[in-house]
């Protein structure tokens, strides 16, 4: 009998109740943790950012040079990748499953866990971000660029006013920069190279989750995942996530010179934000170039007279020459301020923007970008965070010293 019935087709109240039922009852609580290890709820507070932010909660990007192909016996399956030591750990996990099958420990009737095959793994954040910007572009041309705004744009200079008006509006509800995109709900853990799906079930269907959890070999799946340093994502139990703090996972990372999670975060990833200004320039250039190509002529009223204006294209080199970095930095600070939900006062933002004029000339662009992002950092940190508060209360209730996530 299906115990969990949550799916996206239910009405709001019923869906809330069913999701709560799964969250509370899918896995029993253990004696020494919120859930029997290695199950971990990656929807809980800061854990949703696991693999996408560092210990200071700065968004990070994986260096794709450290990826390694995952083992697969399915010739039709396209190549899938994970971080090198994660791929090694998964290979060892697959071998243990194969050995258990040969020894007759596994139930052959299990449709999910008699053999382990990767179905989804690493996905490039660059590809995801480009697709997101394409959707943003469509919104600009299909919805935002109403006739009154279109008629206002005579050249690149007047276009910029409309462009930044659009970004100001869009940044109230979604990311603009790659830095914000990485930590947003439009991104997910697979960009980290730490996650591997061993099934392609529907994560919105709780009944399918129950089928997977109730499968005959799930016990072995839990035990062997733990042995090799993997978490099992509570909300997608067929998703394995490398626990980079686990001594078991670090055994595989040692081969590559890594001795701690800080080593891994510092070596395999770099802080996001360094390319944000270039991306902002390219986005403006892309939008304007498309506008000129699709609507080269515009009828506008100039000094009381209706005239047809031919919009002139601009090269990217001209854009960079006529609009230097200090111009874009000012706009970038405004966008990050909105993306981070105004973490400082308007007066502090104004002072921050003035500081960049000096810092840009003395320290350079990367330093200025880092300075802006440091000042506008708005992610919850350990002290006062939701996870910290809840776990502190749980520690008191259970007389245990539970640790907050990063």
d(CA 36, CA 14): 27
d(CA 190, CA 152): 42
φ and ψ at residue 233, rounded to 5 degrees = -70, 120
Query: Nearest-CA neighbor of 214 among 110, 119, 114?
Result: 110
Number of C-beta neighbours around residue 342 at 10 A: 12
Spatial neighbors of 216 by CB under 8 A, at least 6 apart, are 106, 107, 109, 110, 113
Query: Does residue 38 have a cis bond before it (omega within 30 degrees)?
Result: yes
pLDDT at 298: 83
Alpha-carbon separation of residue 69 from 53, 64, 90, 252 (angstroms): 24, 12, 11, 15
Give how far the C-alpha of residue 117 lies from the chain's centroid of Cα atoms, to the nearest Å: 24
pLDDT at 21: 65
Q: Do 313 and 287 meet the contact criterion of CB atoms below 8 Å apart?
A: no
Query: Nearest-CA neighbor of 81 among 41, 392, 72, 73?
Result: 72
- HSE-up of residue 374 (Cα within 13 Å, Cβ side): 8
d(CA 332, CA 276): 8
pLDDT at 378: 61
d(CA 46, CA 172): 21
d(CA 361, CA 120): 45
Spatial neighbors of 380 by CB under 8 A, at least 6 apart, are 45, 46, 57, 386, 387
Would you state the structure tokens that stand for residue 267, as one six-digit string?
A: 């070596």
DSSP, collapsed to helix, strand or coil, labels residue 4 as: coil
Q: Do 276 and 365 meet the contact criterion of CB atoms below 8 Å apart?
A: no
If you ran DSSP here, which 8-state letter would residue 59 be given?
Answer: B
Query: Nearest-CA neighbor of 151 among 20, 52, 295, 329?
Result: 295
d(CA 285, CA 251): 47
pLDDT in tens, the chain (406 residues): 467 655 776 667 766 666 666 676 666 665 555 545 688 888 877 788 999 999 888 999 999 999 999 988 776 678 999 999 999 999 999 999 999 999 999 999 999 999 999 999 999 999 999 999 999 999 999 999 999 999 899 999 999 999 999 999 999 889 999 999 999 999 999 999 999 999 999 888 888 889 999 999 999 999 999 999 999 999 999 999 999 999 999 999 999 999 999 999 999 999 999 999 999 999 999 999 999 999 888 887 777 777 788 899 999 999 999 999 999 999 999 999 999 888 889 999 999 999 988 889 899 999 999 999 999 886 544 444 555 555 666 667 767 665 544 4
Query: Nearest-CA neighbor of 286 among 314, 327, 245, 249?
Result: 314
């996408």: which residue's tokens? 52
Handedness of CA 17, 22, 28, 33 (dihedral sign): negative
d(CA 186, CA 184): 5
Q: Do 44 and 387 meet the contact criterion of CB atoms below 8 Å apart?
A: yes
φ and ψ at residue 246, rounded to 5 degrees = -75, 135
Instruction: Identify each DSSP E strand in 160-243 by its residue range.
Output: 195-197, 230-233, 239-242
Would you state the structure tokens that stand for residue 66, as one six-digit string?
A: 């450290």
d(CA 72, CA 86): 15
Number of C-beta neighbours around residue 253 at 10 A: 26
Element (H, E) at 281: helix 276-294
């Amino acid at each position: 009998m299906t115990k969990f019935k949550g799916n996206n087709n239910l009405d709001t109240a019923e869906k809330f109740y069913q999701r709560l039922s799964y969250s509370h009852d899918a896995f029993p609580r253990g004696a020494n943790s919120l859930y029997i290890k290695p199950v971990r709820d990656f929807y809980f507070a800061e854990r949703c950012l696991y693999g996408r932010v560092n210990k200071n909660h700065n968004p990070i990007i994986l260096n794709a040079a450290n990826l390694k192909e995952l083992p697969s016996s399915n010739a039709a399956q396209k190549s899938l990748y994970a971080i090198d030591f994660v791929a090694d750990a998964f290979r060892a996990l697959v071998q243990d499953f194969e050995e258990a099958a040969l020894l007759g420990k596994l139930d052959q009737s299990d449709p999910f866990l008699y053999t382990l095959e990767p179905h989804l793994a690493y996905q490039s954040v660059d590809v995801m971000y480009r697709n997101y910007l394409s959707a943003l572009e469509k919104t600009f041309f299909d919805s935002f660029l109403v006739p009154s705004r279109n008629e206002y744009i005579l050249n690149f200079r007047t276009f910029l006013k409309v462009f930044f008006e659009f970004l100001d509006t869009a940044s109230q509800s979604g990311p603009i920069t790659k830095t914000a995109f990485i930590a947003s709900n439009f991104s997910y853990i697979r960009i980290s190279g730490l996650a591997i799906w061993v099934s392609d079930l529907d994560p919105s269907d709780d009944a399918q989750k129950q089928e997977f959890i109730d499968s005959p070999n799930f016990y072995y799946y839990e035990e062997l995942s733990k042995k090799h340093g993997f978490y099992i994502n509570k909300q997608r139990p067929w998703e394995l996530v490398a626990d980079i703090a686990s001594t078991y996972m670090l055994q595989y990372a040692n081969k590559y010179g890594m001795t701690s999670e800080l080593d891994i975060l510092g070596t395999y990833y770099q802080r996001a934000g360094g390319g944000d200004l270039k991306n902002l320039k390219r986005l403006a250039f892309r939008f304007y170039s498309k506008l000129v190509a699709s609507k080269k002529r515009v009828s506008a009223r100039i000094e009381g007279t209706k005239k047809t204006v031919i919009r002139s294209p601009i090269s990217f080199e001209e854009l960079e020459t006529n609009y230097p970095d200090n111009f874009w930095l000012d706009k970038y600070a405004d966008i990050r301020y909105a993306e981070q939900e105004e973490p400082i006062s308007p007066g502090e933002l104004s002072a921050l923007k003035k500081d960049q004029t000096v810092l840009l000339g003395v320290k350079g662009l990367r330093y200025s970008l880092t300075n802006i992002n440091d000042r506008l950092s708005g992610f919850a940190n350990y002290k006062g965070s939701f996870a910290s508060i809840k776990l502190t209360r749980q520690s008191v209730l259970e007389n245990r010293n539970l640790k907050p996530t990063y």
